[in-house]
Chains A and B, each alone.
Chain A
């Protein structure tokens, strides 16, 4: 991979990697660490990529794995900061902040599939592949996430 290609991919997909990490870690500092780790792995990757979409999927998959790895670490479990996640959104309307905070209050296992399905637009089968889960598991998680969100948003309003 040439320098120009790497820089181009890094700038184009940094947001995606950061958001995937944020949906797992729920804080900015750890998400930035995951972003840096993932970009380093991209630079070190020897296998040639077939297309930009291939790069995007590869980055999401690595970001999911890196975030989970961080989540499992003893350091993370001890020092996870409490953050107002919605405060990190740039100029968000109250409605947007409310929905985003509700998503962040979901259990961790629901957040990343929800993000990949609704924001990145992947089908259930693709989400399952990216998260290393069964399709049926992803379907169930999405369904339960919607139910919980409805409940939380009703209680909030």
Chain B
């Protein structure tokens, strides 16, 4: 019996990609398209928040649990400038005032190394310190005397008019 190409062609014409597979592939690609940047930015924000919470927890452990709830008075604000560059700024209530930390977030979301510019430490006398690098590249070390200024710290945090940041702060607290 010979091989008949026409029979083979008729057989092949009856082998088709399942319509669901094609539809699924198109939908999968459509989903990949648009929300990518937004998702990436959210991940960056989440990473910064996680780092901040971890720093607070570390300081909390070093201060026998006295510092933890105070250090959580921070907020992260995310803005995008005209060039599309994402910037994150973190406000930390300190001594009734605010310390503002800003970090540039590259498009690829590689923000953690900038986020590591700040640290919260405690010395042998139970004092906590916030160390960060200011916009001139100078390392600044400030005491976080939060236990004595709890009311001021709370009011400083509550006074910030940034609903988005407040929502993120609550999310961070929940996560913590």
Contact = CB atoms under 8 A, between A and B. Distances in A.
Interface in A19-48: 19, 22, 28, 31-32, 35-36, 39-40, 43
B138 interface: no
B11 A99 contact: yes
Interface string B1-14: 11111011111111
A58 to B, nearest CB: 16
B28 A96 contact: no
Given A32-B21, A153-B1, A118 B9 contact: yes
Contacts of B29: 6, 39-40, 43
A44 to B, nearest CB: 9
Contacts of B151: none
Given A99-B7, A119-B9, A153-B1, A88 B15 contact: yes
Interface string B31-65: 01000000000000000000000000000000000
Given A10-B22, A149-B3, A36 B28 contact: yes
Q: How many interface residues does chain A have, given as a range? A: 35 or more
Nearest to A149: B3
A119 B15 CA distance: 12
Contact of A157 (B1, B10, B17): B1
Contacts of A7: 26
Given A17-B17, A99-B3, A153-B3, A115 B25 contact: no
28 contacts: A3-B30, A7-B26, A10-B22, A11-B22, A14-B21, A18-B15, A18-B17, A32-B18, A35-B17, A36-B24, A36-B25, A39-B25, A89-B11, A93-B10, A95-B7, A96-B14, A99-B3, A100-B8, A100-B15, A115-B12, A118-B9, A119-B8, A119-B12, A146-B3, A149-B3, A153-B2, A153-B3, A154-B1
Interface string B141-153: 0000000000000
Interface residues of B, number: 26
Nearest to B20: A32
Contacts of B1: 150, 153-154, 156-157
B136 interface: no
Given A39-B29, A150-B1, A154-B1, A97 B17 contact: no
B22 A35 contact: yes
Contacts of B18: 28, 32
